[in-house]
Amino acid sequence: MFQSYEQIFSKRADAYQKAMELYPEARQREFQLALERAGMNAAEVVCDAPSGGGYLRAYLPSDTRRYLAVETAPDFTGHCPLGERDSIIHSPLDNIAIEDNSVDVCINLAGSHHLEDKSRFFREATRILKPGGRLLLADAEKGTRVDRFLNEFVGRYNSMGHEGIFLDESTAAEITACGLEVHSDELIDITWTFETRDDSGIFCKLLFGIDLASPADVLAGTEEILGYMPGPGKVNLAWNLRYIVAIKS
Ligand SMILES: C[S@@+](CC[C@H](N)C(=O)[O-])C[C@H]1O[C@@H](n2cnc3c(N)ncnc32)[C@H](O)[C@@H]1O
């Protein structure tokens, strides 16, 4: 039976963290692209919501003023790599303990498909952003192979299920209605990189908490639904996300 994502992630956090520790560079391009799109400047305050284990921190410029990791599932944040002025904030995404107009860049990477009403997060992002601040939203798009992989394959072989509410044709208008101006909006093919195909199967099994399928079956699922393509690594698992940048005027 499908449980709430808060319940699921309090159980899934350890395996997710293990996947990210075993293969720290697999999602490198996904994180780099988020920061490139957000157009980082010197000495900015970055809010990462939801942060998971704070994986984005490793990709931030060294002169970042402050990294604020906002996470709903405390089990995730035990290994968060923090600098002196950084903080972890345990809170829901629609009521974040951060002052109004205080953040330069708010990043939500792969975290909005858990939100039934994304407007509540968009309004909160608008509140905490400084004028001129940017929201970078990146998540799976409805109807893509990533949607199919997560909601069909993971939904079937994760005993807790997966029912992501992915981005769709209403997302840009929803962001605009919450007080931000959409600056760019693009579905982008990226790859997750590995040494071997087996590694990609192990990574997906851990990252998505796929407990009802063997590593070989997970690999067969990724091969059939996602596929592999040329890229920077030896093995490049095809993934895609919609990256949206919206600015507060
Ligand atoms: C796929 S992870 C993404 C984490 C991180 N941004 C990354 O890219 O690895 C999804 C995140 O959503 C959080 N989450 C789960 N349920 C949620 C909910 N109902 N509201 C907000 N965040 C939730 C999880 O705790 C987790 O951090």
Backbone angles phi, psi at 74, to 5 degrees: -55, -25
Q: Best substitution site from 2, 6, 120 to test ligand 1's pocket, by max atoms within 8 Å of Cβ?
A: 6
Position 207 scores a pLDDT of 97
Second CATH level (architecture) for the domain 5-248: 3-Layer(aba) Sandwich (3.40)
50 prior amide bond cis, ω within 30: yes
Q: What is the mean pLDDT of residues 45-53?
A: 97
Span 132-157, pLDDT tens digits? 999 999 999 999 999 999 999 999 99
CB of 110 closer than 6 A to ligand 1? yes
Residue 45 has pLDDT above 80, yes or no: yes
pLDDT band at 3 (very low <50, low <70, confident <90, very high): low
Residue 10 has pLDDT above 50, yes or no: yes
Q: What is the mean pLDDT of residues 59-73?
A: 96
Residue 1 has pLDDT above 50, yes or no: no
Backbone angles phi, psi at 13, to 5 degrees: -55, -40
The mean predicted confidence, pLDDT, of the chain is 95
Q: Is 229 exposed, middle or buried (0-12, 13-18, 19+ CB in 10 A)?
A: exposed
Q: Best substitution site from 4, 9, 28, 70 to test ligand 1's pocket, by max atoms within 8 Å of Cβ?
A: 9
pLDDT band at 11 (very low <50, low <70, confident <90, very high): confident
Position 77 scores a pLDDT of 85
Q: Domain segments of the chain: what residues?
A: 5-248
Position 78 scores a pLDDT of 86
Atom in ligand 1 nearest the alpha carbon of residue 50:
27
State how far the Cα of 143 lies from the Cα of 122, in Å rounded to an integer. Answer: 22
Q: What is the mean pLDDT of residues 169-191?
A: 98
> Helices 5-22 and 197-207, interaxial angle, to 10°?
150
Position 6 scores a pLDDT of 65
CB of 108 closer than 6 A to ligand 1? no
Position 79 scores a pLDDT of 85
Distance 143 CA to ligand 1 centre (A): 21
Q: Best substitution site from 2, 5, 14, 57 to test ligand 1's pocket, by max atoms within 8 Å of Cβ?
A: 5
Position 74 scores a pLDDT of 87
Distance 70 CA to ligand 1 centre (A): 10
Task: Return the HEC string of 34-80.
Answer: HHHHHCCCCCCEEEECCCCCCHHHHHCCCCCCEEEEEECCHHHHHHC
Residue 12 has pLDDT above 60, yes or no: yes
| Cα–Cα distances in angstroms (integers) from residue 129 to residues 39, 48, 148, 248, in the given order | 15, 12, 33, 7
- Give the DSSP letter of residue 86: -
Shortest-distance Cα residue to atom 25 of ligand 1: 73
Distance 52 CA to ligand 1 centre (A): 6
